[in-house]
């Protein structure tokens, strides 16, 4: 009996010791009672809704989402530091831990994250999520001991900050939403290089272009206006849908296609080489490639050249993202002459790379060195003239005829400037300041000039006339409709078809009113003028056929075309549509 009592007493003693060990001390209980978590929970919910929910519903509100998410994350930290009721060590220890973890993480992230969104990608995405996770930690651990709370706090902060060292950005969409991948997975470019690792860049020469006029001689067609004339396709996609002719992988880049006969030309990145490529229109098979040791990359659009080749008199003119101007034999890719325009003029590569597609006008080829026009002799490659520095810019020189006089119109930070192609003399200038212009100007049937200046500004129609005292520019129409920053527009029957954010719009360019607005598309478009229809290549890689009518928005058909984000302009030759992005290229017979 004594032995049983002794054993029972020993067991009770051990149980009491265990209960004391797990029991939260009285001062810690008082601390837990003082925690004020309701405000933190509300802030966390609002932060996630504003940062991620709002842009998914309203893509045009991406900037509001970014700023709202950052503000929400900061407010959560302020709430914890000053109003949470936690003890001083826990309050300020958490603040120091969060700041320290983010600073350390930033030193080990992929460059696509550190430079994304002009350096704001990491805080814009990480801070709202980390701050919300911290609130969840505070709620979930409120009944645990201080020691365990501290351990779990450290784990939470390190986990939700440190995970950014494991991922990379694959660019952003037109409304500033990023796409992520694991850092160790192969990119589409790496997969392509592995497939073509043993392919020679010097392909057999002697491939002749047909002696025909180029059906699509370069960027946005024969007049750089995105309009296909004398072209008819099937518009009944229910009974006669587009037929895929071929599909091939391609290196990254924002270039479109130039087409002549059975040959198509584009630019792409292959490892450390910036490549001008020629393929068969009929099969997509490679014909020749010309490579330069150059590589440009930015965290938004990715790697590769930005501009589109230009075909003229049996030659291919290309301008690379780092500033290399090449003139090649269209038959076999043989180099005729080359100039590093950026180095020769001591110009740094702009933030998004040189994006100007070369323009042949008379006996010169003109490119935009950011916002500065510069011309070279077609035959010798000698520099003929250089215009005034117009700041930054990603638009291409555009040839118009106004009052019977050929002139090159350039868009830059100041507005629009018109130049004599032969010597660069300024004819007229329209001052309308806007930074980082991308879009092309356009011309109406009666010769007026239409300009667009981005999301916050809108569109203007100008009447440009030659008077006795010089050139005169008059505003005919000014509208806040069709506020496009990235996607070019087309003009048809005094209507402008283009984008406001991801939404396709039709705007009356006489009165300035909006006729209709579509659902989300994004991307680029071509007008088939003879049939009054638009061929739209969406940012998601779909091809849609839309009526170019002012009456209402009517989608005639839509098909999936290519996978992945698509910012490249489509091209069309006859009834063959060419589309590409930074992963693949595809040809469809419409």
Helices (H) and strands (E) in the chain, counts: 12, 37
Q: Cα separation of 190 and 168, whole Å?
A: 15
Strands 359-361 and 364-369: antiparallel
Confidence at residue 59, expressed as pLDDT on a 0 to 100 scale: 67
Indicate whether 454 pLDDT > 80: no
**Per-residue pLDDT band at 503 (split at 50, 70, 90):** confident
Q: Report whether pLDDT(182) > 50.
A: yes
Question: Greater confidence, 497 or 19?
Answer: 497
Please give the pLDDT value at position 407.
Answer: 97
The whole-number pLDDT of residue 464 equals 97
d(CA 199, CA 197) in angstroms, rounded, equals 6
Query: CA 225, 231, 232: angle at the middle one, nearest 5?
Result: 130
pLDDT band at 242 (very low <50, low <70, confident <90, very high): very high
User: Residue 139: pLDDT above 70?
Assistant: yes
CB 335 within 8 A of CB 290: yes
Q: Does domain 188-203+211-589 have CATH number 3.90.1150.10?
A: no
Residue 215 CA to residue 205 CA, distance in Å, equals 23
Give percent above pLDDT 70 in the chain. 91
Residue in the structure block whose two tokens are 């916050």 = 456
pLDDT of 406 > 90? The answer is: yes
Alpha-carbon gap, residue 10 to 275, rounded angstroms = 82
Identify the residue with better confidence: 211 or 58.
Answer: 58
Buried b (16+ CB within 10 A) or exposed e, 121-131: bbbbbbbbbbb
What are the respective helix, strand and coil percentages of the chain, to the nearest 5? 25, 35, 40
Residue 456 has pLDDT above 90, yes or no: no
- Range ranked top by mean pLDDT from 170-184, 191-205, 505-519: 505-519
The helix/strand/coil state of 373 is strand
Element (H, E) at 188: helix 188-195
CB neighbours of 59 closer than 8 A, spacing ≥ 6? 175, 177, 501, 502, 520
Q: Name the pLDDT band for 191 (thresholds 50, 70, 90).
A: confident
**Spatial separation of the C-alpha atoms in residues 505 and 220, rounded to whole Å:** 19
Residue 29, pLDDT score? 52
pLDDT at 521 over 50: yes
Instruction: Find the range with the poorest average confidence among 20-29, 497-506, 519-528.
Output: 20-29
With residue 270 as reference, give the H or E element that holds it. strand 263-270
What are the contacts of 511-514 at 24+ separation with CB within 8 A? 511/477, 512/459, 512/477, 512/478, 512/479, 512/481, 513/479, 513/481, 514/481, 514/482
Q: Helices 38-48 and 62-78 meet at what angle, rounded to 10?
A: 160
Whole-angstrom distance, CA of residue 441 vs CA of residue 558: 28
pLDDT classification of 115: cutoffs 50, 70, 90: confident
Residue 179: pLDDT band with limits 50, 70, 90: confident
Q: What is the pTM of this model?
A: 0.87
pLDDT computed for residue 431 by the predictor: 94
Pairing of strands 524-528, 227-228: parallel
pLDDT of residue 390: 87
Query: In this predicted structure, what is the pLDDT of residue 290?
Result: 96
- Look at residue 482 in the predicted model and tell me its pLDDT: 86
Q: Domain segments of the chain: what residues? A: 19-169, 188-203+211-589
Is the pLDDT confidence value at 491 over 50? yes
Tens-digit pLDDT profile for residues 243-295: 999 999 999 999 999 999 999 999 999 999 999 999 999 999 999 999 999 99
Query: pLDDT tens, 329-342?
Result: 999 999 999 999 99
| Per-residue model confidence (pLDDT) at position 33 | 53
Which segment of 169-173, 530-534, 563-567 scores lowest on mean pLDDT?
A: 169-173
């Amino acid at each position: 009996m004594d032995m049983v009592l002794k054993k029972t007493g020993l067991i009770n003693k051990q149980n009491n010791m265990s209960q004391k060990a797990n029991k939260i001390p009285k001062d810690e209980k008082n601390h837990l009672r003082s925690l004020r978590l309701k405000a933190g929970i509300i802030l966390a919910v609002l932060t996630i809704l504003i940062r991620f929910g709002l842009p998914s519903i309203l893509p045009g509100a991406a900037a509001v989402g970014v700023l709202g998410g950052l503000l929400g994350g900061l407010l959560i930290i302020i709430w914890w530091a000053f109003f949470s009721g936690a003890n001083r060590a826990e309050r300020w220890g958490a603040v120091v831990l969060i700041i320290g973890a983010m600073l350390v993480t930033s030193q080990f992230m992929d460059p696509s994250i550190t430079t994304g969104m002009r350096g704001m990608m990491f805080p814009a995405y990480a801070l709202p999520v980390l701050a919300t996770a911290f609130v969840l930690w505070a709620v979930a651990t409120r009944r645990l001991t201080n020691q365990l709370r501290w351990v779990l706090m450290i784990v939470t902060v390190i986990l939700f900050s440190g995970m950014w060292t494991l991922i990379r950005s694959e660019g952003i969409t037109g409304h500033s939403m990023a796409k992520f991948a694991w850092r160790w997975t192969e990119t589409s470019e790496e997969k392509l290089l592995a497939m073509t690792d043993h392919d020679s860049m010097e392909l057999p020469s002697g491939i002749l272009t047909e002696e025909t006029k180029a059906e699509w001689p370069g960027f946005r067609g024969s007049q750089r206006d995105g309009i296909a004339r004398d072209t008819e396709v099937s518009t009944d996609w229910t009974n006669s849908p587009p037929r895929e002719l071929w599909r091939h992988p391609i290196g990254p880049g924002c270039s479109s296609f130039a087409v002549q006969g059975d040959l198509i030309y584009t630019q792409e990145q292959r490892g450390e080489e910036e490549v001008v490529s020629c393929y068969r229109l009929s099969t997509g098979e490679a014909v020749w490639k010309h490579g330069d040791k150059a590589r440009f990359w930015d965290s938004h659009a990715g790697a590769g050249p930005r501009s589109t080749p230009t075909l003229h008199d049996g030659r291919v003119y290309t301008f690379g993202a780092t500033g290399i101007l090449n003139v090649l034999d269209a038959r076999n890719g043989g180099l005729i002459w080359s100039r590093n325009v950026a180095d020769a003029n001591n110009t740094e590569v702009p933030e998004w790379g040189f994006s100007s597609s070369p323009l042949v006008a008379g006996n010169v080829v003109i490119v935009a060195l950011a916002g500065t026009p510069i011309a070279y002799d077609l035959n010798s490659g000698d520099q003929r003239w250089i215009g005034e520095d117009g700041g930054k810019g990603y638009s291409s020189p555009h040839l118009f005829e106004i009052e019977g006089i050929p002139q090159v119109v350039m868009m830059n930070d100041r507005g629009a400037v018109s130049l004599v192609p032969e010597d660069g003399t300024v004819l007229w200038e329209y001052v309308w300041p806007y930074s980082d212009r991308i879009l092309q100007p356009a011309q109406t049937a009666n010769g007026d000039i239409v300009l667009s200046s981005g999301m916050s500004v809108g569109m203007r129609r100008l009447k440009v006339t030659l008077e006795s005292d010089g050139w005169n520019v008059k505003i005919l129409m000014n509208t806040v409709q069709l506020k496009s920053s990235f996607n070019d527009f087309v003009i048809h029957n005094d209507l402008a078809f283009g984008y406001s954010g991801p939404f396709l719009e039709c705007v009356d360019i006489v009165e300035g009113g909006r006729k209709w607005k579509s659902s989300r598309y994004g991307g680029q478009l071509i007008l088939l003028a003879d049939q009054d229809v638009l061929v739209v290549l969406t940012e998601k890689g779909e091809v849609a056929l839309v009526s170019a009518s002012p009456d209402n928005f009517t989608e005639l058909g839509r098909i999936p075309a290519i996978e992945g984000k698509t910012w490249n302009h489509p091209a069309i030759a006859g009834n063959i549509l060419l589309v590409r992005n930074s992963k693949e290229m595809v040809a469809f017979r419409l």
